[in-house]
Structure 1
Amino acid sequence: MSIQTVDAFIEEFDYSTDYILKRLYKTEKPNAFCATFAPFINEVKEYDETVNILLQSQMKQFVEYYVLPFVKSSSDQVCITGSIAYYFKEILQESFDFFQLPTPTIIASPTDGLIEYHQQ
């Protein structure tokens, strides 16, 4: 990770190490806390190749471990909900392509999907 990225993170969030550790290990919904960094990471990936490579690697790993075991055929439709999938949908799509899977449906919020379902 570049020093430019580290400096930008500190400027944007100004969180102490103790605060981050407390939010991750001693409060409810640490995943929601981590998701608050998604917009920042989405911007940073454009100029920090290390961040971009890390994202690509982790998205491939996500698809391999959490999607592939449930996909039985190429006609199976996959729907992924959440801000991480939404912010990194291009990289996620590349990972699906890598494993020759059909394009997933990506919804930023579960509420959006429920509204759409009930409007049909």
Structure 2
Amino acid sequence: MILVADSGSTKTSWCLINEKAGLSFFNTEGYNPYFVNSSYIAQSLSLGLPSVIPPLQISHIYFYGAGCFEDKTHIIKDALQKVFPTATLAVGLDLLGSARAVLHDQPGFAAILGTGTNSCLYDGSAITANIDSLGYLLGDEGSGFYIGRQLLGDYIREYMPAAVRADFFAAYGLKREQIMDRVYSEKLPNRYCAGFVQFISVSTADKEYTNQLVKNAFIDFFETLVTKYPNYRQYSFNCTGSVGYAFKDILSAVATLYGMKPGGIIRTPIEGLARYHSLQG
């Protein structure tokens, strides 16, 4: 049996590939090795795995995760080895997983727009170019964090339209002090800020304001990252992630504005990754 995982900072999507029973999907929390250690991951997995997953019968695990750079893969591997002691492990960036999910073995451009942001050129097997997104403190333009941070800033400063502000307060009842304390004093502020993207997607008080907020974030993403790739216009724009998918019409319009034909824009790469690894044998 094979396990494939796609892990963001918020959620990990898993697929069990069983030759006899087919594919089984489930979720756990996200495991970014920049924010959590091996012990935390192992404990969370032990508690979060469905009872139908037999740890000792897993032969291979392909784990694609946010923050899984070479100097951090040992954190994931140590955790997985504790839970799946007999499995052969392969750990790589979530960006590689996204590229394989949307492009399979075809070369092209791929991006992630979820809680965080990333992008690359892909040659059909491996990543050939990547401009560092820098994470939420220094970059992550176009991400859920980036959009949520802007929304919270507009709320606190009273820049957002009155109708939107009223809706926001009715939904969350938050005051400036509560937001500032949560962002600056508690763990994982990126997840906290990204959580408010849901409000943007459902609020109807002033769609011009909320749509422009999202559009501006995507423009920043293109200006800061996408347009810096050589000959970027020759590729279609392919993307995975909850934020890109939730606002795919706006994202497609921005991609077109920058001379890129919209390609595959999907919520999660896990189904594409399951197909990719099933075909790889």
Please indicate the TM-score interval, normalised by the length of the shorter structure: 0.7 to 0.9
Partner of 1:106: 265
Partner of 2:166: 7
- Rounded to whole Å, the distance in 2 between the matches of 1:105 and 1:59 is 16
- Unaligned runs of 5+ residues in structure 2 are 1-159
The correspondence for 2:216, drawn from 57, 61, 64, is: 57
Partner of 2:251: 92
- Rounded to whole Å, the distance in 2 between the matches of 1:22 and 1:115 is 41
- Rounded to whole Å, the distance in 2 between the matches of 1:116 and 1:75 is 27
Partner of 1:47: 206
Q: How does 1:23-34 map to 2 (within 5 A)?
A: 23-34=182-193
Which structure would you say has the larger RCO, counting Cα contacts within 8 Å and 6 or more residues apart?
Answer: 1
Q: Is the 8 A contact 2:244 2:251 kept in 1?
A: yes
Q: Is the 8 A contact 1:24 1:33 kept in 2?
A: yes
Q: TM-score, normalised on structure 1?
A: 0.77
Identity of aligned pairs, percent?
A: 28
Call closer, same or farther: CA 1:73–1:10 in 2, change over 3 Å: closer
Query: Structure 1 residue 47: deviation in Å?
Result: 3.2
| 89-98 or 64-73, larger mean C-alpha shift | 64-73
Call closer, same or farther: CA 1:73–1:57 in 2, change over 3 Å: closer
- Unaligned runs of 5+ residues in structure 1 are none
Amino acid at match of 1:22: D
Q: Is the 8 A contact 2:237 2:264 kept in 1?
A: yes
Determine helix, strand or coil for the equivalent of 1:105. strand
Call closer, same or farther: CA 1:115–1:24 in 2, change over 3 Å: farther
Deviations 1:9-45 (A, max 9, x none): 1111122322322332233332221221112102236
- Alpha-carbon RMSD across the aligned residues, in angstroms, is 2.5
- Structure with higher Rg: it is 2
Q: TM-score, normalised on structure 2?
A: 0.37
Amino acid at match of 2:256: D
Point out the structure with the larger strand share: 2
Query: Structure 1 residue 62: deviation in Å?
Result: 1.2
Query: Structure 1 residue 75: deviation in Å?
Result: 3.9
- Rounded to whole Å, the distance in 1 between the matches of 2:221 and 2:164 is 24
- Rounded to whole Å, the distance in 1 between the matches of 2:264 and 2:181 is 34
Deviations 1:36-59 (A, max 9, x none): 111210223673322222322221
Determine helix, strand or coil for the equivalent of 1:80. strand
